[in-house]
Every structure is written in structure tokens, then in C-alpha cells.
Amino acid sequence: MKRACARIDQRKPPGYVLATMRAKTQVVLLGTGTPAPDPARSGPATAIVANGTAYLVDFGPGVVRRAAQAHRDGMAAMAVTNLTRAFLTHLHSDHTAGYPDLILTPWVIGRSRPLQVYGPEGIRSMTDCILKAYAADIRIRTEGVEALDPAGGCVEVHEIEPGIVFTDSNVTVTAFRVRHGDWPQAFGYRFETPDRTIVISGDTSPYDGIIECYRGCDVLIHEVYTEASFAEVSHKWQEYRLKYHTSTRQLAEIANQVKPEILILTHRENPGGTGGFRPEEEYLDEITRLYSGRVVIGHDMDVY
């Protein structure tokens, strides 16, 4: 690894660079966006890098190119041919539209091992449909002059239930159910490594048991919308947010009980039905009225 973080800029709070360089386990925000096509924010995707190995959570649009950017910026673990382990929170399109890219592009440029994917019921069917859709491409690339190793284009799918879903010498990954509207299965993930515990909320509204799922984490990466935007959307979208997402007030109340070392805001909702995006200061102002811990806005390519 050439350097400890993929991006350092003046937005980072004091101590960010030092803390990042000391941590053996790092969080790389590859995509912090929503379904809205914001050019500054790719679709949801986060990498946990533990002991030089990358573990991906979600694969929204742009995931492979963001990983390539992190590799170019000095993170050896983020070479796209190293993307062989991925965990999916749920099947919404903004979290999965980069899946064909994740399956095919690393293989085309040299991945020789199957992609291991862990996720909710339905991910196996989605995988089969993608491979069927690209069957002609796969055939030409394996049987033609490219003669690619077919193993690198394979996917080993694991449809999971709550509990420990993966463990190796670097990390233990625990999945927990979250409440995301009408989805019958949606998960958050807890990554425990020798030096850090990281929780990724997935898309969720508050639910009974959320504190226990988050408790003891060093890093909490959480979706959020502002209360100010809630007042501006239609009744339909208000109902949607209450069932599917978490407000700044709700998140502040959660953080006050969990007390993570750092709270990272991601998947910030644009106000459905009104267009436009909320200013970052609105999120921070609303949360810090109720929560005094360290909280930051996540941006694509930030490393913590």
C-alpha cells in the first residue's frame, strides 16, 4: 500500500489523517448516493479493508470505477481484480445496479477467482438472470481469442439469515435484519476486526433492537434524511420515509445511546417529489442540536 488513505482534503476534521494512518482496518466510501443521479455521488457501495483485504457492502452504479480510483490513489487492496467478496443489504436497484459490472469487469481484466456474494433471498435469482443476459459475452470471452479463465466470471451466491455469515482471519461479519418498508428481507452488517468494529446500517427506519445491533461499534455508517425536507414532501413521500428511512432526529437519538467514535452520514435522501438536494449543513445542524459526538458527512472516496 503506497499510502494510508485514498483521499485527504481540507474538509476533514483535525486528527483525521493521523487516525486513518494508524488504523489497520479502513472504511472506503465508494458510493454515498441515492437513486437520484447525482454526478458527485455514485450508488451505495462501501469497502471495509482489513489486513490488506477488501470486503464490499452493496454494489450501486459506479462501484468498479470508484474501486479503481481508490486503487489509483494508493490502496492496493482496492485493485478491481481483488474484489472477490461482497455483501448486499437489500435488492433495491440503487444498491444493485452495479452488480453486472462487479461480476464482469474485474473478470475481463484478470480476476481468476469466483465472486463470493452474500445477501438476502432473491440475490441468487438476480445473479442467474444477469449471467443469462450476458451469456453471449461470456461465451465469446471464454471460447474466443481472449480465452479468459471462466472461474473469474463465476459467482458463488450465499442467501443468508441473521447471524454470523462470514468469518476469516481478518474479519467476522454478522448480518442483522433491518426495517426497510415492504422489503421482506433487508440487512445491516457488523464487521469486527482485531482493531475496529464497523456497523453499516443499510437502508432502514428505526426498529426494536436497533441499539443492540449497533452497540459497541467504533464506526457507525448510517443513512439519513433531514426533518426540514420531510416537511416539504407530499404525504405519500412522508409515509414512505417513515417506513423506509431514518430522520436526523431519530439518528441523533440512536447515536446518543450507541456512542460510536465516529458517525458517518451516507445515502442522504433528496426530498422525493420536490427535486433538488439538501445542503450538508442542514444535516449537521439538525443532528448536532441533539448529539454532541463526532459526526461527519460521507463523500465518495473518503477513507476513515
Which of 94, 218, 300, 302 is catalytic? The answer is: 94
196, amino acid identity = R
Phi and psi at residue 85, to the nearest 5°: -135, 125
What is the full DSSP assignment across 79-125? -GGG--EEE-S---HHHHTTHHHHHHHHHHTT--SPEEEEESTTHHH
Closest C-alpha to 175, from 244, 117, 130: 117
Give Dmax over CA atoms of the chain in angstroms.
62
Task: Kindly report the number of other CB atoms within 10 A of residue 94's CB atom.
Answer: 19
Is 122 exposed, middle or buried, given 0-12, 13-18 or 19+ CB atoms closer than 10 A?
Answer: middle
- The yes-or-no answer on residue 94 being catalytic is yes
C-alpha distances out from residue 214 to 226, 246, 291, Å: 21, 15, 16
Tell me the catalytic residues.
94
